[in-house]
Structure formats: structure tokens, C-alpha cells
């Protein structure tokens, strides 16, 4: 990747991961789409409010003994709170780490769900079939994208409404995010705080 500059404020931009599709300028808050030709402005949004977290964009460490770098994060607001999803380079791959009031889950498999029941009718307690696997629904809620920071492989414009569904399938944690355009399915596991070691 050649050296890049924020097309809004001129700050240097370094894209670390080849899967990154969007970069949020840390200086001016402009959201930049990463293309083969360079950077395109998608919009300018206020920076995320800082809340205490063990992670920060750019931090490194280990999760379950394997190395990670935090590349970016997306924040979701729901009635009365928020949760963050950290985009990680993890052991040579990419992963998402969700953080919700000090509770962490690591999602290492992501796919677009092809076959999914009508989202509006899905309820907690039900078991539904998703692409041939049985998913027990634990929680369903609505959230709104609050914004992003750093570089991201998966991006939605702030303000976008998302239906999120948490479930379990074959002992693994399933997180499903539904927008009007697509349904993404993440497979992962719950982490204990001691599973995450941040350097420095
Ligand atoms: Zn900028």
C-alpha cells in the first residue's frame, strides 16, 4: 500500500490490514473508504466518546496465548447503553472481539447467512435453522451504529439500525447482525478477562 493521506485533513494514514475497507481518521473523524485507487470520503462524524476499556486502537497483546493487534472498533448504541466490537488482527487472521460492560467474546469465523428465518418473528428461546445448523436464540435486540475508529473490515454508516441476535449452536456462541442489506453470522466463544493480555 503506498503512503496515504486523509483526503479531508492531510494526516498520514497507514492501513495495516489488507481486509480493511474503511478507515476513520483519528485527527478529523472523517470516514474514508479504502479503494485500490486510494481513499474516498464517506462522511464526517464525531469521534467516539471514551469509556474505560482494557483495549485501545493500536494496542497489542495476546488472547488465549495467541498474538493480536487491535486495528479498529465499531460502537453500537442500544436503549440505555452501548457495546463495542473491536476489529483485530489475530494470529495472522482477522477476528472481532465484542466488549459489553466488561464482558468479552471472541468471534473468529464470519460468514454471510444465506438462509435465515424472518427476523421480525424470531424470539428468544426459539431454535431456528441457519444455513443447516440449529441455533438456539438467547437474546434479540435492536441497536444503532454510533460510529467507528481506526480501520475496519466491516462497516456501516453511523445511524444504521441493526437487529442483533445472540445464540448458541453446538456449544459455540453465535452472534447475528441483520441490516436491511444483509445478515452476518459470527461464530465464537466467551472470554474471561484473564484470557486477554494487553502489552505495556
Ligand atoms: Zn483527517
| 34 domain-assigned | yes
Separation of CA 44 and ligand 1 centre (Å):
9
Q: Are 69 and 58 in contact (CB under 8 A)?
A: yes
Q: Are 94 and 16 in contact (CB under 8 A)?
A: no
Q: Which domain holds residue 32?
A: 4-44
Separation of CA 13 and ligand 1 centre (Å):
9
| 115 domain-assigned | no
| 68 domain-assigned | no
Separation of CA 171 and ligand 1 centre (Å):
43
Give pLDDT tens digits along the chain (200 positions). 557 999 999 999 999 998 899 999 999 989 999 988 888 888 888 888 888 899 999 999 999 999 999 999 999 999 889 999 999 999 999 999 999 988 999 999 888 888 888 888 999 999 999 888 999 999 999 999 999 999 998 888 899 999 999 999 999 999 999 988 889 999 999 999 999 999 97
Residue 79 phi/psi, 5° resolution?
A: -50, 110
| 36 domain-assigned | yes
Tally of structural domains, the chain: 1
Separation of CA 64 and ligand 1 centre (Å):
35
Separation of CA 12 and ligand 1 centre (Å):
8
| 25 domain-assigned | yes
| 29 domain-assigned | yes
Render 84-132 in DSSP notation, one character per residue.
Answer: EEEEEEETTEEEEEEEETTEEEEEEEEEE-SS---GGG--TT-EEEETT
Which residues, listed in sequence order, are joined to residue 24 by a DSSP beta bridge?
31, 150
| 146 domain-assigned | no
pLDDT of residue 113: 84
Separation of CA 30 and ligand 1 centre (Å):
6
Cell readout for 59 is 494496542
Cell readout for 114 is 444465506
Residues 6+ positions from 146 with CB-CB distance below 8 Å: 48, 75, 76, 77, 82, 158
| 8 domain-assigned | yes
Amino acid at each position: 500500500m503506498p503512503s496515504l493521506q486523509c483526503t479531508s485533513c492531510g494526516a498520514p494514514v497507514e492501513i495495516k490490514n489488507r481486509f480493511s475497507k474503511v478507515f476513520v481518521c483519528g485527527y478529523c473523524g472523517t470516514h474514508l473508504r479504502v479503494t485500490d485507487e486510494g481513499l474516498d470520503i464517506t462522511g464526517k462524524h464525531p469521534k467516539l466518546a471514551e469509556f474505560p476499556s482494557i483495549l485501545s486502537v493500536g494496542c497489542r497483546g495476546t488472547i488465549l496465548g495467541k498474538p493480536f493487534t487491535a486495528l479498529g472498533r465499531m460502537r453500537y448504541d442500544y436503549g440505555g447503553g452501548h457495546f463495542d466490537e473491536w476489529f483485530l488482527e489475530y494470529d495472522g487472521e482477522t477476528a472481532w472481539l465484542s466488549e459489553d460492560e466488561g464482558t468479552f467474546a471472541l468471534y473468529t469465523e464470519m460468514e454471510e447467512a444465506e438462509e435465515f428465518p424472518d427476523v421480525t418473528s424470531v424470539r428468544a428461546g426459539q431454535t431456528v435453522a441457519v444455513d443447516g445448523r440449529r441455533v438456539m436464540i438467547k437474546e434479540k435486540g435492536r441497536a444503532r451504529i454510533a460510529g467507528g475508529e481506526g480501520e475496519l473490515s466491516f462497516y456501516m454508516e453511523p445511524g444504521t439500525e441493526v437487529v442483533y441476535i445472540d445464540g448458541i449452536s453446538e456449544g459455540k456462541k453465535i452472534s447475528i447482525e441483520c441490516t436491511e442489506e444483509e445478515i452476518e453470522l459470527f461464530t465464537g466463544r466467551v472470554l474471561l478477562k484473564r484470557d486477554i493480555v494487553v502489552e505495556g
